[in-house]
Copies of this chain bind each other. A is one copy, B any other.
Amino acid sequence: MTAKNKPGLSIRIDLPGGGRFGPGKAALLDAIAELGSLNKAAHELGMSYPRARKLVEEMNRDFQTPLVLSSQGGADGGGSRLSDAGQELRDLYHQLCKRSLAHNEALLARIGQVTNQAPVPK
């Protein structure tokens, strides 16, 4: 078995009150951090702007401190950036995913052995 047919993990954090933080929101935080704009981040991810806006509103509501800060006006309609809390949550999420993969290598290798699915050709 090569590394190519090892399964991956998609992890969602289920917050105590019913909110959720998973791969989609994490990717949006990554893209906002990189591009400095919610509009550009949505475009980069192939996500509609209203959808991206809704995810940001959920995140800002679900945590004590807003994760994404947006300023009004300017050519881009103002930019967006991560708050300290947004950066921390993004780091925590990526650490969590990395640790979950690292601590389950043997299990995932076994699941890779019993899957019927050839890796997607590149």
Contacts and interface: CB of A to CB of B under 8 A. Distances in A.
B10 A11 contact: yes
Interface in A76-122: 85, 88-89, 92, 95-96, 99-100, 103-104, 107-108, 110-112, 114-120
A43 interface: no
Interface stretch (A31-39, A46-54, A59-67): A59-67
Contacts of A13: 7-9, 108, 111
Interface residues of A, number: 46
B64 A115 contact: yes
A73 interface: no
Interface in A8-22: 8-22
